[in-house]
DNA sequence: CCTGGAGTTGTCCTA
DNA sequence: TTAGGACAACTCCAG
């Protein structure tokens, strides 16, 4: 007779190393590893199509690490977990915390219910450098400005030791699992739209480690400047791995800072560390302002005169705005499930300020298309770019997609994702509609035939946006 | 409680 | 060509 098994509930911690819940579960005896697809009650934030693709392959990788013993289920954990406990004679349950408001609410209920039936439940932190309730102002309230949040976190120091550990090698209880258990979740769409995702990403813990190693080897040495240039390989692209918990931010933080010291490039690694803390800031915001996903954080934006327009939104989504950098970004998103951060700001600003479309439309589209779709990051970032969020860009700060193209030398990037413009030289590729006819003809560009003319004028749309903002202010004063 | 200083990522116009 | 200031006040935060 074996010892009583523990249940390890995997969620956004799909890894064996640096996994506090798994470490704790493994030391207490044999374990039953379980994943539950639980997003059915999270409308309107059910997993997007790109996230589903990633999840499928990440679970597949984890399952292999667990000798195909990962139990995969779908439904409401409030029912499933107690049923499993009863069926397998489980007394102890372990998980790592999630922070989406609907999940943490559900987990609190579940924990209470399990404890009432005499089960032991242990939850741990596996995914935040600083959990929201550990980085508050002296008066106990949460930060709304990034820099003080960052300083506070730095001055207190990050607790790395409680998360970092060797890979667990848990003893798994025998289970008879169907071979098609993952396919049964139906995470992969029938349309083969995601085939190119594999070109840039390998979901799973091993893929995450490789991405980090590659970034530390090549990308980080020029991070501070290089991260703004979409044509360079100076960003880590770790975001989807972090979101699904295939790697602990603690490990990323530790290794990048150590390398910075070793190579004397502290400035680069500090800037990278700052970006990791931005994620923490977003989590804190969402935790303390759970309505952030639906409502303007700055309520004075509630009456903003958004100009809902389906054709404009559609042009933005499909990368047919006539602004090459915007179109390149939107097509990168669609084709690869990823978009460079500099370009995210440019396309975000363009949607919200030049097209006057509600930021929630942008957030929704990103949610569906991004492999790294993360409720806290996505929401906080869209509110930031729209000007209604915490520490937001002032409303008059409107990105000019052409200036941005030039400043960050995006010609190569544009050629990659907008092939119909590839033959244009650097001088004309940023603004094809004012290129001489001869250049366009030579490059095979026929405006409004194989590439659109700009769908809005930059100057007029900018003035319109500023006008809308003035209008809003006037209304709020009245 | 008061107060001073500061706040991710920009653009445009003018002198 | 280039550098500096305007753009908008407002809220946040720490001392």
As annotated, the residues of chain A forming the CATH 1.10.579.10 domain(s) are 299-477
Q: Exposure of A142 by Cβ count < 10 A (0-12 exposed, 13-18 middle, 19+ buried)?
A: middle
Q: Residue A391: its pLDDT value, please?
A: 84
Confidence of residue A192 (pLDDT cuts 50, 70, 90): confident
List A7's β-bridge partners, or say none: A32, A93
* Calpha distance A418→A420 (Å, rounded): 6
User: Which nucleotide minimizes the distance between its C1' and the CA of A149?
Assistant: C13
Among A95-104, A188-197, A225-234, A365-374, which is the least confidently predicted range?
A: A188-197
- Scan residues 339-358 of chain A and list those with Cβ within 7 Å of strand B: 341-342, 345
Query: Is A128-164+204-288 a CATH 1.25.40.80 domain?
Result: yes
CA of A223 to C1' of B15 (A): 37
pLDDT at A477 over 90: no
pLDDT at A475: 79
A208-212, A229-233, A253-257 — which is least confidently predicted? A229-233
Each residue's pLDDT tens digit, A257-303: 999 999 999 989 999 999 999 999 999 999 999 999 999 999 888 88
Query: Quick check: A45 pLDDT over 80?
Result: yes
Q: Which DSSP category does A70 fall into?
A: -
Res. A442: pLDDT tops 80: yes
User: Topology of A299-477 in CATH?
Assistant: DNA Cyclobutane Dipyrimidine Photolyase, subunit A; domain 3 (1.10.579)
- Whether the per-residue pLDDT at A3 is higher than 50: the answer is yes
pLDDT the model gives residue A199: 87
Second CATH level (architecture) for the domain A6-125: 3-Layer(aba) Sandwich (3.40)
Domain with CATH 1.25.40.80 in chain A: 128-164+204-288
Mean pLDDT of A451-477: 88
Average pLDDT over residues A321-347: 96
A399 touches strand B (CB under 7 A): yes
Based on the residue annotation, tell me whether A45 is a catalytic residue of this protein: no
Q: How confident is the model at residue A2 (pLDDT cuts 50, 70, 90)?
A: low
Distance CA A432, CA A440 (A): 8
Q: What is the average pLDDT value for chain A, to the nearest integer?
A: 93
Looking at chain A, the domain(s) classified CATH 3.40.50.620 span 6-125
Asked if the Cβ of residue A395 lies within 7 A of any atom of strand C, the reply is: yes
Q: What is the CA radius of gyration of chain A?
A: 24
Q: Which of A255, A278, A406, A420 is catalytic?
A: A278
Q: How many CA atoms lie within 13 A of A65 on its CB side?
A: 20
Q: Is the CB of A149 under 7 A from strand B?
A: no
The CA distance from A371 to A366, in Å, is 9
Q: Is the pLDDT of residue A44 over 90?
A: no
Residue A1 pLDDT class (50, 70, 90 cuts): very low
Task: State the pLDDT at residue A478.
Answer: 67
Cα gap A22→A13, rounded to integer Å: 9
């Amino acid at each position: 007779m074996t010892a009583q098994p523990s249940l390890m509930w995997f969620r956004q911690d799909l890894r064996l190393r640096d996994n506090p819940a798994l470490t704790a579960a493994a030391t207490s005896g044999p374990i039953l590893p379980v994943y539950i697809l639980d997003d059915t009650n999270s409308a309107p934030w059910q997993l997007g199509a790109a996230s589903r693709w990633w999840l499928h392959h990440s679970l597949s990788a984890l399952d292999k690490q667990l000798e195909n013993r990962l139990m995969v289920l779908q439904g409401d954990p409030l029912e499933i977990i107690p049923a499993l406990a009863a069926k397998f004679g489980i007394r102890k349950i372990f998980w790592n915390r999630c922070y989406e408001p609907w999940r943490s609410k559900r987990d609190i209920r579940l924990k209470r219910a399990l404890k009432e039936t005499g089960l032991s439940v242990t939850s741990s932190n596996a995914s935040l450098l600083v959990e929201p309730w550990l980085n508050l102002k002296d008066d106990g309230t949460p930060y709304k400005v990034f820099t003080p949040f960052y300083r506070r976190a730095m001055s207190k120091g990050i607790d790395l030791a409680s998360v970092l550990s060797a890979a667990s090698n848990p003893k798994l209880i025998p289970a008879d699992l169907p071979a098609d258990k993952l396919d049964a979740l139906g995470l992969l769409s029938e349309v083969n739209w995601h085939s190119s995702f594999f070109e840039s990403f390998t979901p799973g813990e091993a893929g995450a480690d490789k991405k980090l190693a590659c970034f530390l080897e090549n990308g980080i040495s020029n991070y501070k400047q290089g991260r703004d240039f979409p044509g360079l390989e100076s960003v880590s692209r770790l975001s989807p791995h972090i979101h699904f918990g295939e790697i602990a931010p603690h490990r990323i933080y530790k290794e990048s800072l150590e390398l910075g010291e070793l190579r004397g490039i502290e400035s680069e690694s500090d800037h990278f560390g700052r970006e990791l803390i931005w994620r923490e800031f977003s989590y804190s915001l969402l935790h303390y302002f759970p309505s952030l996903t639906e409502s303007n954080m700055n309520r004075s934006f509630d009456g903003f005169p958004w100009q809902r327009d389906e054709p404009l939104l559609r042009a933005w989504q499909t990368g047919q705005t006539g602004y090459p950098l915007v179109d390149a970004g939107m097509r990168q998103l669609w084709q690869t499930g990823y978009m460079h951060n500099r370009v995210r700001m440019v396309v975000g600003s363009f949607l919200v300020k030049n097209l006057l479309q509600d930021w929630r439309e942008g957030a929704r589209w990103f949610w569906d298309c991004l492999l790294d779709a993360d409720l806290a990051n996505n929401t906080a970032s869209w509110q930031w770019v729209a000007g209604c969020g915490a520490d937001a860009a002032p409303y008059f700060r409107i990105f000019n997609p052409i200036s941005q193209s030039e400043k960050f030398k995006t010609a190569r990037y544009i050629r990659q994702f907008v092939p119909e413009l590839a033959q244009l030289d650097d001088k004309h590729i940023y603004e094809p509609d004012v290129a001489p006819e001869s250049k366009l003809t030579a490059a095979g560009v026929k405006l409004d035939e194989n590439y659109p003319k700009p769908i809005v004028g930059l100057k007029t749309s900018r003035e319109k946006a500023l006008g809308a903002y003035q209008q809003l202010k006037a209304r709020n004063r009245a």
